[in-house]
Structure 1
């Protein structure tokens, strides 16, 4: 809960406002620009900038006199990043899904042009599957793979699709890039994807992407089970729960649904 403004220390608040002035579009700002933006005197602004620079939070470009964010912020950000362990954040939710649906849950991340499983939780009645932690899989014929591919930056996704060597595992496997692109459009629209016996006959799954603070997919979670149990009604219920859960995990990674 935000503190009352009466408890704020003005100089600290102003220093933080200065740091928040910077963005990807404006990664360098001058004293006058910052002073005008925050409605501060130039002398006050310069004193705050000098303090922040001395502590490593800002760095001055000696050629034009402007400031940019400093290495100290990267160091602190790395500490935050290290604490945002995807596997640790996701495991309680995987267990919750498995407990509710008694099927197998997977957590995966993209590694180059492939997907790698980083965690797996099996239900008591779960069928034996070839997936295992550390194993790689294709992006185009797995739920976890398509979920990530659909929510990657378009340029990166295009590059991956150029290098895919399609192989037909079942009669439902996507086997060309145009078909895959159409499938990715559907996934983006409904916020989750389905593997309809595309890599293994008799196996279906529902998957959804985990987003990071940049709004990019860094991983995905799926619930897999035999076709005999994964009927339309059950898959819709899983999809609803999965979308809620991946949003909670994404928020721990700094994602903001705006």
Structure 2
């Protein structure tokens, strides 16, 4: 095995550790890191120590947490990411005209990440920070799932069996596949109480001039202020926002 291959595997393992720790809300023990990443305990300990030294992880009495170096990467992303830069003024206009919180999500692996957000004058009762990860199989994530390359789509679907939504509905694989077909036909998705009970959202993909999916625009409200029918009426504004952003990509 070449030195280059060894270095590549070490980088992958380090990223696996950072990815795992970043998705957990509380400190994690080394044994948890080893189990969840599939790394030998000694290997996980060695790599984690390096990450601590570089500031990507931090140790506490309760375990490992993400370190401050990650913040500098996040800041650099918001300044350098073309989609975020192009999206922000468009989201400001969309929120001003709709009165709703608007967001940009991009796919990373089998999840989606919030990269840009403009809060409504009356914010939601729950808050999501920039960088928050969510699944592709619930709510607006289904839009990004629907337009994945076929191989990536099949990989996600093979690992999906069923999922309980916030409204209590058990979403089966067959349910999800039917909804994906509808999204591909309509080009948008209306979600009602899937992630948070009492919320309604509308999501559409951002297509670049080359036809690639760069991300998705989402608007969301509580259903005691906006009904699903009223949310659907905002579709022209949402689609206009996605076109405007896409033209700048």
Which TM class, normalised by the smaller chain length? Answer: 0.5 to 0.7
Q: Which position in structure 1 is the counterpart of 2:94?
A: 97
Q: CA deviation at 1:89?
A: 0.8
Match 1:210 to one of 191, 206, 211:
206
After superposition, the Cα gap between the structure-2 partners of 1:128 and 1:171, relative to the gap in structure 1 and judged at 3 Å, is closer
SS at match of 1:223: strand
**Would you say 1:219 and 2:215 are equivalent positions?**
yes
Match 2:104 to one of 102, 107, 111:
107
CA contact under 8 A between 1:211 and 1:217: conserved in structure 2?
A: yes
Q: Which position in structure 1 is the counterpart of 2:121?
A: 124
Q: In structure 1, what is the Cα distance between the partners aligned to 2:228 and 2:161?
A: 31
Q: In structure 2, what is the Cα distance between the partners aligned to 1:165 and 1:241?
A: 35
Q: CA deviation at 1:211?
A: 1.8
**Would you say 1:154 and 2:150 are equivalent positions?**
yes
Q: In structure 2, what is the Cα distance between the partners aligned to 1:83 and 1:105?
A: 21
CA contact under 8 A between 1:173 and 1:199: conserved in structure 2?
A: no
Q: Which position in structure 2 is the counterpart of 1:229?
A: 225
Q: Which position in structure 2 is the counterpart of 1:134?
A: 131
After superposition, the Cα gap between the structure-2 partners of 1:113 and 1:123, relative to the gap in structure 1 and judged at 3 Å, is same
Query: Cα deviation per residue 1:158-215 (whole Å; 9 max; x = unaligned)?
Result: 1112123643132355622221111011111111111111111011100001123542
After superposition, the Cα gap between the structure-2 partners of 1:91 and 1:153, relative to the gap in structure 1 and judged at 3 Å, is same
SS at match of 1:167: strand
SS at match of 2:234: helix
Q: TM-score, normalised by structure 1?
A: 0.61
Match 2:236 to one of 213, 233, 240:
240
Computing the radius of gyration from Cα coordinates, the structure with the larger value is 1
Query: Cα deviation per residue 1:216-237 (whole Å; 9 max; x = unaligned)?
Result: 3221010000001222442123
SS at match of 1:92: helix
Q: In structure 2, what is the Cα distance between the partners aligned to 1:112 and 1:169?
A: 21
Q: Structure 1 unaligned runs (5+)?
A: 1-81, 254-258
Match 2:163 to one of 164, 167, 171:
167
After superposition, the Cα gap between the structure-2 partners of 1:165 and 1:231, relative to the gap in structure 1 and judged at 3 Å, is same
Q: Which runs of 4+ in 1 moved over 6 A?
A: none
SS at match of 1:182: helix
Number of equivalenced pairs: 171
